C-alpha cells in the first residue's frame, strides 16, 4: 500500500518507519527541511532506528535496507498526498492546524483515499466535518515510541465506513499493533487512553504541588509499583521530545 505521512516529528517519523518496515511504500512530508533531516537520521541511526535493529538482531541487513528503500522524506506535500491510498496526519496538536491540513488532504487526495489522524484527543467529528468524505476519515492514535508500542487506538463514529474501519485495523495489525476500536465522543478530549492518563497526570501534579513527593519520586514509585517503563512525568517528556539513550 502507498501511504503518506504528514509531519516528520517524533511521532510522524516513527510511524513512517513502522509502516515502511511492515512492507508499505511510505512518503513522509514536512514543511521544514531540518525536521526531515532529523527524521531521516532518527530512522537510520537513532535509538529505535534500522541500524540499531540490525545490531540487536531484530532485523537483518536486507530487511533494513529494503524498508529504508520504501521510505521517502521530502517537502513535496502534493506527491505524498496524491499518490497515497492511506494518509496519516501527524502535525502538531492544534485543532485549527489539523482542520486546515484535512481540508487540503480532502482537496488533493483521491476520492477513495482514507484520511487518518494521529491526534491525541481531538474529536473525530471535527476533522471529518472539514472534508467532503466523512465516511473515509478516522483516528489512528499511536503511542510513543511508535516502533516499540503495540498501542493502536482506532476512533470511529456512526458515519465511518465499516470497510475503512476494517482496513485500518488490518494495517495496524500488520504493523504488529493491537488495534482497539473505540467510539468518538465529541464532548470529551482524549478518547480512552489519554482521558485516563490525563486524570492520572492531574493527580500526580497535585501530589507534587502538595509537597508529598518530587517529580522524580513520583516517576519511580509508579515504575516500581505498576511496572511502567517510565513514570507519568517522564512519559510527557518522551512523547514530546523523543526517547534518548
Whole-number Å distance between alpha carbons of 11 and 78? 21
C-alpha dihedral sign at 18, 20, 21, 24: positive
Question: What does the pLDDT look like over 4-33, one tens digit per residue?
Answer: 999 999 999 999 999 999 999 999 999 999
Question: Can you give the pLDDT at residue 131?
Answer: 98
Of 24, 27, 141, 215, which is the active-site residue?
141
Q: What is the pLDDT of residue 118?
A: 98
- Domains in the chain, please, with CATH? 2-183 (3.40.50.720), 193-241 (no CATH)
The whole-angstrom separation of Cα 173 and Cα 45 is: 26
In the block, which residue shows the cell 497526570?
201
- Residue 186 has phi, psi (to 5 degrees) of -60, -20
Which strands make up the sheet holding 137-142, listed edge to edge? 71-74, 25-29, 2-6, 86-89, 114-117, 137-142, 151-156, 178-183
Q: Which segments of the chain have a pLDDT < 70? A: 239-245
Burial class (CB in 10 A: 0-12, 13-18, 19+), 113: buried
- Enumerate the β-bridge partners of residue 27: 4, 72
Go through 114-127 and write b for each residue having 16 or more CB atoms within 10 A of its CB, e for each that does not. Answer: bbbbbbbbbbbbbb
Q: Which residues contact 38 (CB under 8 A, 6 or more apart)?
A: 8, 13
Instruction: Give 28's DSSP letter.
Output: E
Question: Does the active-site annotation cover 141?
Answer: yes
Q: Could you read off the pLDDT of 195-212 as tens digits, one per residue?
A: 999 999 999 999 999 999
Q: What is the pLDDT of residue 229?
A: 86
User: Is the Cα torsion angle 240, 186, 171, 180 positive or negative in sign?
Assistant: positive
Q: What are the distances in angstroms from CA 202 to CA 77, 128, 205?
A: 38, 30, 5
Strands 151-156 and 137-142: antiparallel
Amino acid at each position: 500500500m502507498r501511504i503518506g505521512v504528514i509531519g516528520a516529528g517524533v511521532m510522524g517519523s516513527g510511524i513512517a518507519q513502522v509502516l515502511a518496515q511492515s512492507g508499505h511504500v511510505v512518503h513522509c512530508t514536512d514543511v521544514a527541511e531540518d525536521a526531515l533531516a532529523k527524521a531521516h537520521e532518527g530512522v537510520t541511526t537513532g535509538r529505535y532506528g534500522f541500524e540499531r535493529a540490525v545490531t540487536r538482531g531484530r532485523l537483518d541487513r536486507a530487511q533494513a535496507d529494503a524498508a529504508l528503500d520504501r521510505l521517502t522524506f521530502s517537502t513535496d506535500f502534493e506527491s505524498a498526498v496524491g499518490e497515497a491510498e492511506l494518509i496519516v496526519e501527524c502535525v502538531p496538536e492544534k485543532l485549527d492546524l489539523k482542520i486546515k491540513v484535512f481540508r487540503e488532504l480532502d482537496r488533493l487526495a483521491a476520492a477513495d483515499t482514507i484520511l487518518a489522524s494521529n491526534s491525541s484527543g481531538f474529536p473525530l467529528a471535527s476533522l471529518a466535518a472539514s472534508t467532503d468524505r466523512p465516511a473515509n476519515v478516522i483516528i489512528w492514535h499511536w503511542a510513543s515510541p511508535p516502533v516499540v508500542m503495540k498501542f493502536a487506538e482506532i476512533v470511529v463514529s456512526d458515519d465511518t465506513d465499516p470497510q475503512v474501519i476494517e482496513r485500518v485495523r488490518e494495517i495496524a495489525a500488520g504493523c504488529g499493533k493491537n488495534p482497539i476500536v473505540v467510539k468518538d465522543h465529541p464532548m470529551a478530549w482524549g478518547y480512552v487512553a489519554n482521558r485516563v492518563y490525563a486524570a492520572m497526570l492531574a493527580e500526580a501534579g497535585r501530589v507534587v504541588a502538595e509537597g508529598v513527593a518530587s517529580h522524580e519520586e513520583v516517576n519511580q514509585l509508579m515504575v516500581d509499583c505498576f511496572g511502567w517503563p517510565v513514570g507519568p512525568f517522564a512519559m510527557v517528556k518522551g512523547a514530546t521530545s523523543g526517547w534518548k539513550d
